[in-house]
Amino acid sequence: MNRPADRLAIAAAQLNPIVGDIAGNAEKLRRARSKAAADGADLVVVPELFIAGYPPEDLVLKPAFQAACRGMVEQLARETADGGPAALVGTPWVEGGRLYNAVCLLDGGRIAAVRLKVDLPNYGVFDEKRVFVPGPMPGPVNFRGVRLGVPICEDVWGEAVVECLAETGAELLVVPNGSPYSSNKEDVRLNITVGRVVESGLPMVYVNQIGGQDELIFDGGSFGLHDDCSLAFQLPRFCETVTTVIWERCNDTWRCVGGPLDAYLEGERANYAACVLGLRDYVEKNGFPGVVLGLSGGIDSALCAAMAVDALGAKRVRCVMLPYRFTSAESQSDAATLATRLGVQYDIVPIAPAVEGLEAAIAPLVAGLPRDVTEENLQARARGTILMAVSNKFGLMVVTTGNKSEMSVGYATLYGDMNGGFNPIKDLYKTEVYRLARLRNAWKPDGALGPDGWVIPENIITRAPTAELREDQTDQDTLPPYDVLDAVLERLVEREEPIAAIVAEGFDRDTVVRVERMLNLAEYKRRQAAPGVKVTLKHFGRDRRYPITNRFRDAGIPLAAPAEDLASGAGIGTAARSEALDF
């Protein structure tokens, strides 16, 4: 299908690959190419490393995997002899014994060109220098009379690669991306790409991946820019699409003709959609038939239940209320109402026999000692064990429901409420959990499978949060108010601000020092937490990697327990319990 050099139809294939599913990813490309052909496209563009899935991490170091990707690309290249659209396909590429992050142009039954990623990101969630070597500075690819510049993702975040392409005659930039989601990332991408367009004078087609991969979410939102930085087209976020856009030569540049301008989800709506997509893809891509979670009558489990139903549908979500003598009638009523509104299977399993059996078992070991957090934790651990039993028996994945505020300060029980396979709200602070619960009662994302309208009872949103592990307990007995706690944590975790700077903003010094201490002490718990969706700039696990054994304190106070405590057998665990945080 030969077009004159003054017109080019490009299909932006915003697709959701699965890491390691080479055959499945190739089939997605075939379907996208068929749609592109029906739409009259000359070229279909898929995201970065599409054949392997992104990010492949150390999987890409396996020679068998490298060979399988290469073989599939060669097969796909042969298929383009049918006269249909060419394909610009991301893949690992071994050349001269070196492994590259590459893009191959497949056209006319052959691999017509290969371009190698130059700028390998090695910060935050990225560690590409661990597995790839950088390619040389590229020139443009000649495609059917048009000189295409093909920088790969990070190559447009700096100036050098695009500058080289402009100087060597590129007319249009086509950028395959694997750019993961975080709050307000769309603004960052747009600012970066506008800078490259201004510097080079070249229009741009930016094609981004969609879908969840472990803790990362890719939000799509592919777009195009004219050489004057005006928006040429914009595709939706959080959904797959193959959209063909027509570019025409006009006064020595290229302009997009009638490209779609889909509205973007932004802010908290985007965060909610990201959590739903991340949970759905983790369950689907790992082959679970559904999920189970404990409903406490509290806000965290309520939001997780709503997200699970939106992600999977009510028939694939099972909720279990696990009451003990401290569980209020109010909590039980709220949980039942939530389950009814969501339409999920709902079971009630009293845990008194399990807790009392455990207490009886340890009684000889703790005779004469006062009751404390030890007995409280038996409740959480009994609940965790029962949920894991349901998981084992029915093959359901346990959804764990702790928020970022709790995981920051260790307000969670190892082998109890921390049990689970995935946590959709892991990167949401408590204050945002409340905001998203209110949001969900008024709105749900396109494609969500849950019911419309008010699903989370108002009482769950308005009542004081409590773990209900003892009489009349509330979270604020132990923690600062969540609006204060979250503000301090955001400065400590996301911004890495010194304590002195936080205090200078007006926060109480004792509170900041205490929160910073709890944050450090809880590292050993976070290291054992389930994976979960990344929403913020600093996600526990993917971004923020701190040592467990660590005596540094910003305030100049040693992290280690006092010598007399160490002599009596105290340590990190006892220090955490002294803050009453081992729940």
Please give the angle made by the CA atoms of 554, 551 and 482, to the nearest 5 degrees. 55
Contact 70, 93 (CB under 8 A): yes
Integer Cα distance of 19 and 57 in angstroms:
9
Q: What is the DSSP string of 100-142?
A: EEEEEEEETTEEEEEEE------STT--GGGT--PPPPP--EE
Nearest one of 151, 172, 169, 197 to 10, comparing CA atoms? 172
Q: How far apart are CA 88 and CA 149, in angstroms?
A: 12
Tokens standing for residue 23: 């055959």
Please state the three-class secondary structure of 508-538 as a single string: CHHHHHHHHHHHHHCHHHHCCCCCECCCCCC
> In sequence order, which residues have a C-beta less than 8 Å from that of residue 64 and are 6 or more positions away?
none
Beta-carbon contacts of residue 535 (< 8 Å; ≥ 6 apart): 181, 182, 183, 271, 274, 275, 427, 428
Residue 396 to residue 52: CA distance in whole angstroms: 28
Beta bridge partners of 391: none
SS3 annotation, 275-316: HHHHHHHHHHHCCCCCEEEEECCCHHHHHHHHHHHHHHCHHH
Q: Give me the active site residues, please.
A: 48, 117, 153
Of 492, 482, 486, nearest in space to 538 by CA: 492
Residue that is written with structure tokens 């392997």 in the block? 52
Residue from 404, 410, 402 nearest 294 by CA: 402
The strand pair at 216-219 and 317-321 is best described as: unpaired
Which residue bears the tokens 């694939």? 316
